[in-house]
Amino acid sequence: MRLYRLESKIVALFIILIVVVQLAGFVAIRTAIDRNARSAISEELIIGERVFTRLLDQNAQKLTQGARLLASDFGFRQAIGTDDRDTIASVLANHGARIGATMGMLVGTDGLIHASTLEYPDTDLQRSSLELVRKAGNGNGAAESAVVGDNLFQIVAVPIKAPVTIAWVVMGFPVDRDLVNDMRALSQLQVSILVRQRGSAGWTADVSTLPKAEAQMMAKEASSPQMGQAGATDLQIDGNQYRARVLPLARASNGQEAVAVLQRSVSEAVAPYQRLQLILLSITVLGVLGAAVASAVMARRITSPLRDLATVAKRLGEGDYSEGLYIRRQDEIGRLGAAFETMRSEIASRELKISRLAYQDQLTGLPNRVQFGDLLREAIGQAQALPGGSCHILMMDLDRFQQVNDVLGHSFGDDLLRQVAARLAAQLLYPGAKVARLGGDEFAILLPGVDLDGALDQAAHILRALEQPLSLQEQTVDLGAGIGVAGYPAHGDSSEVLLSRAEVAMYTAKRKGNGVTIYDPAIDQSSQESLSLLSELRRALERDEFMLYLQPKLDLATGAVVGGEALVRWVHPEKGFIGPDNFIPFAETTGFIRMLTIWMMEKVAGLSARLQAQGLRLKFSVNLSTRDLLDQELPTAFGAILERHRLTPAALCLEITESAIMDDPARAQSTLDRLAAMGFALSIDDFGTGYSSLAYLKRLPVDELKIDKSFVMKMAQDQDDAKIVRSTVDLGHNLGLRVVAEGVESEEVWFLLRQMGCDQGQGYFMGKPMPVERFLEWLQQWRAPEMLDQSENVAI
């Protein structure tokens, strides 16, 4: 049986424990009782032996007294003195009967039997008597036990004095049942007297307190070799266990023997303890039951709150935080319950916060895109439930918001968005309509159960409301908006489809500048194309259709190759070679550019590591887009790539266009600071084409300026361009930056640039962008033009 429940385990443990303890105690007590009983029996037997010996002695003394009394009778002595044998015999019989002797004899000092109560005295008896007389000698009498026939006798001999010893009286007394019964009454022992005849191996029972049959069995048992010698032995009689002690009583010179066997029933001695054991057993049973009940109660007290906690935990797992669990206890379980309760309320409040973050736009407090999606799904569900039910959404994008943001700053932009949100919320025509901010300056309005006309009414209403200029921080802003409309069931039956179609309609409206546009499958074609382009780009990345191109970058003074700019080309499996202008802007708007940047970094790092291993130390540049700069994760991702290739950031240069920086200067700066801190060299690309302030540039952690190729290409012909280049070079040097010229397409330009002190250059004159393998071949062939001497002669 396996115990899966804690409760059963606890109960089982308790029961096993108590059973083991009780069992051990029971066994120990039982053993002790047995041992004690046995030793008590042994003691009893030893004492019994002493008592029995004393009893025999006393008996003998009593007999001796009797005999002595007889011996001192004057008449008797007179009879002996006159040798009146008949009289002597009758006196012996008469006086013997008085003291219970069954036989009497007169033995002369000559050692002959002069008279006897038995007509033919047993030879055994004669011999024993004469032996006894001899033993008494000059003493005052003697007594001993002797075997006569099959019986044990106590015989005594006393001298007859007149006044010197003239004869001996010998009297014999059978050891009878009375004696053993006396012994039994005194000691509770069973007493048997066994006799063994000369030459016989077995004993016969003479008298015994045992029933006759048992006495015979005992006699048979006693014939076994270990019996017969003194000491305690075990006896098995009729299935009962006895402990016995053998007491030698008589051993005649002819080999006749008599012993007394004292025995005590072991089971009798153990009997009083059996009651005790029974009591112990019942205590054990009660203890086990008690332990079972107590442990079950205790286990229940432990496990039932645990089960409740498990139930609540399961509910928490399912997202139900409503109901708590209150365990009013001071112990560990109570504390666990309290901790659990705290955890439940904390999780509940945290989830509320998380869902607010997830479903609410933090700026305006309106539902965000996710929540709007949910609401829309709900509305579609409701509409589906009604025959002819419908719902519509409006999607709206503010015109010129980017410019406002750029010009008036982000906080102004945020305020503006809040104002717009408030105004939209105030313009809702239908109960149940909801405004949401989908992101940036994009808003959406859900109109559940509203038909197309109603939706158009609402759209017109909003446009009218937006015509009112917004006053904000003493500025007045004119806002326009494009609104796209899509609805169920006309344009789709899922929230995703409706949202994307409303968006398509909205872009169309903005493009046309006509305010409100209802979705039309026709206008969706173009958006389908761009969607397919994005998925193609993704696939291209998976299938490795992009190729890394490198354009060499040289030191203008020495003509040595210092590195290259990394560029990307797309080799489309069907459309063939696709130039960067055809997909980079799209990638930038969709954000795909970030994946492309990572891809570039990976490739360039791999190449760089490969070349470094060959001893070529070239510094490659990777372009970063606006999106990249806004991506806070970028430095970490770059760091991971470099680490994988065991490169230091110093081996790479990152190029950023001015416009990319100026989209969100604060975030761009923080990203650039982190990259610079990592050790990347930073370069401002296309310098001269943007609107960056020098004051801002000064703060950027850049190392290099790249003069836009539009100035460089024509600088040999155009004096203005040449001046711009020259002053830019100076500007860069003065700011402590390295200056690189792009678009070097002729030897002439090279020299001009060198004269101006420009540090490095790149352009078709040195090399076009080329695949990596070609670039490596080019590296081998490249020889700097041998016109370094002429440089001095060229006039500016």
Partner 1 sequence: MQKKNMRRAPLLALFLLWAGTWALSAQAAVSVQVLDSAGQPVPNAVVYAEPAGGGGAIKAARQVEIEQKNKTFIPLVTVVQTGTAILFPNHDNVRHHVYSFSPAKTFELKLYSGVPGSPVVFDKAGTVVLGCNIHDEMVAYVQVVNTPHFGVSERNGVVKLDGIANGRYTLKAWYFTMGPNQAAVEQPLEVQGDGRAVIKLNVKAVPL
Q: Give me the least distance between CB of 69 and partner 1, in Å please.
A: 12
Q: Give me the least distance between CB of 161 and partner 1, in Å please.
A: 6
By C-beta, is 80 or 193 nearer to partner 1? 80
Q: Give me the least distance between CB of 162 and partner 1, in Å please.
A: 5
- Structure tokens belonging to residue 226: 């270990």
Choose the binding region for partner 1 from 156-164, 286-294, 505-513, 603-611 (rule: CB under 8 A).
Answer: 156-164
161 counts as binding partner 1 under rule CB under 8 A: yes
Total number of residues that touch partner 1 (CB under 8 A): 13
Considering only 66, 77, 549, 767, the residue that binds partner 1 (CB under 8 A) is 77
Q: How far is CA 373 from CA 362, 436, 441, in A?
A: 17, 10, 17
* C-alpha to C-alpha distance for 142 and 136, rounded to whole angstroms: 5
By C-beta, is 71 or 700 nearer to partner 1? 71
Contact (CB, 8 A) for 694 and 713? no
Contact (CB, 8 A) for 104 and 122? no
Sheet hosting strand 516-518, strand order edge to edge: 434-439, 442-448, 391-398, 481-488, 516-518
Q: Give me the least distance between CB of 179 and partner 1, in Å please.
A: 31
Choose the binding region for partner 1 from 80-88, 195-203, 546-554, 755-763 (rule: CB under 8 A).
Answer: 80-88
By C-beta, is 158 or 684 nearer to partner 1? 158
By C-beta, is 72 or 411 nearer to partner 1? 72
Q: Give me the least distance between CB of 76 and partner 1, in Å please.
A: 11
By C-beta, is 82 or 226 nearer to partner 1? 82
69 counts as binding partner 1 under rule CB under 8 A: no
185 counts as binding partner 1 under rule CB under 8 A: no
Considering only 47, 162, 336, 735, the residue that binds partner 1 (CB under 8 A) is 162
By C-beta, is 78 or 528 nearer to partner 1? 78
Choose the binding region for partner 1 from 160-168, 519-527, 569-577, 635-643 (rule: CB under 8 A).
Answer: 160-168
Q: How far is CA 589 from CA 396, 539, 581, 584, 666, in A?
A: 19, 18, 13, 9, 20
Contact (CB, 8 A) for 199 and 181? no
Reported residue count of the chain is 796
164 counts as binding partner 1 under rule CB under 8 A: yes
Choose the binding region for partner 1 from 75-83, 433-441, 460-468, 482-490 (rule: CB under 8 A).
Answer: 75-83
By C-beta, is 36 or 82 nearer to partner 1? 82
82 counts as binding partner 1 under rule CB under 8 A: yes
Q: Give me the least distance between CB of 164 and partner 1, in Å please.
A: 5
Quick one: the chain helix, strand, coil %, rounded to 5? Answer: 55, 20, 25
Q: Give me the least distance between CB of 100 and partner 1, in Å please.
A: 25
* Sign for the pseudo-dihedral over CA of 544, 546, 547, 552: negative
* C-alpha to C-alpha distance for 756 and 741, rounded to whole angstroms: 11
Q: Which helix (H) or strand (E) holds 380?
A: helix 369-385
Q: Which helix (H) or strand (E) holds 207?
A: strand 204-208
Q: Give me the least distance between CB of 103 and partner 1, in Å please.
A: 25
Cβ-in-10-Å burial (0-12, 13-18, 19+) of 480 comes to middle
Q: 498-519 as b/e, with b when 16 or more CB fall inside 10 Å? A: bbbbbbbbbbbbbeeeebbbbb
SS3 478: coil
Considering only 53, 78, 123, 468, the residue that binds partner 1 (CB under 8 A) is 78
By C-beta, is 79 or 215 nearer to partner 1? 79
768 counts as binding partner 1 under rule CB under 8 A: no
80 counts as binding partner 1 under rule CB under 8 A: yes
Q: Give me the least distance between CB of 81 and partner 1, in Å please.
A: 2
* C-alpha to C-alpha distance for 717 and 725, rounded to whole angstroms: 13
- Structure tokens belonging to residue 400: 């010129």
Contact (CB, 8 A) for 204 and 219? yes
- Structure tokens belonging to residue 251: 């051993």
Which of 703, 705, 710 minimizes the C-alpha distance to 730?
705
Q: Give me the least distance between CB of 82 and partner 1, in Å please.
A: 7
Q: Give me the least distance between CB of 80 and partner 1, in Å please.
A: 7
Choose the binding region for partner 1 from 55-63, 158-166, 352-360, 698-706 (rule: CB under 8 A).
Answer: 158-166
| Torsion of the alpha carbons at 632, 634, 639 and 642, rounded to the nearest 10 | 180
Considering only 166, 347, 637, 787, the residue that binds partner 1 (CB under 8 A) is 166
**Cα-based angle 150, 183, 93 (whole degrees, multiple of 5):** 50
Q: Give me the least distance between CB of 139 and partner 1, in Å please.
A: 15
411 counts as binding partner 1 under rule CB under 8 A: no
Q: How far is CA 50 from CA 57, 234, 438, 732, in A?
A: 10, 19, 118, 134
163 counts as binding partner 1 under rule CB under 8 A: yes
Which of 116, 150, 106, 156 minimizes the C-alpha distance to 136?
156
Which of 674, 46, 532, 696 minimizes the C-alpha distance to 684?
696
Considering only 72, 181, 362, 582, the residue that binds partner 1 (CB under 8 A) is 72
By C-beta, is 89 or 398 nearer to partner 1? 89
Q: Give me the least distance between CB of 57 and partner 1, in Å please.
A: 24
By C-beta, is 112 or 289 nearer to partner 1? 112
Q: Strands 681-687 and 704-707: what pairing?
A: parallel
Q: Give me the least distance between CB of 167 and partner 1, in Å please.
A: 11
By C-beta, is 76 or 680 nearer to partner 1? 76
Choose the binding region for partner 1 from 76-84, 290-298, 319-327, 458-466 (rule: CB under 8 A).
Answer: 76-84
Q: Give me the least distance between CB of 71 and partner 1, in Å please.
A: 10
- Structure tokens belonging to residue 777: 């071949």
Taking the alpha carbons at both ends of the chain, their separation in whole angstroms is 102
**Contacts with partner 1 in 95-154 (CB under 8 A)?**
109
Contact positions vs partner 1 (CB under 8 A)? 72, 74, 77-78, 80-82, 109, 161-164, 166
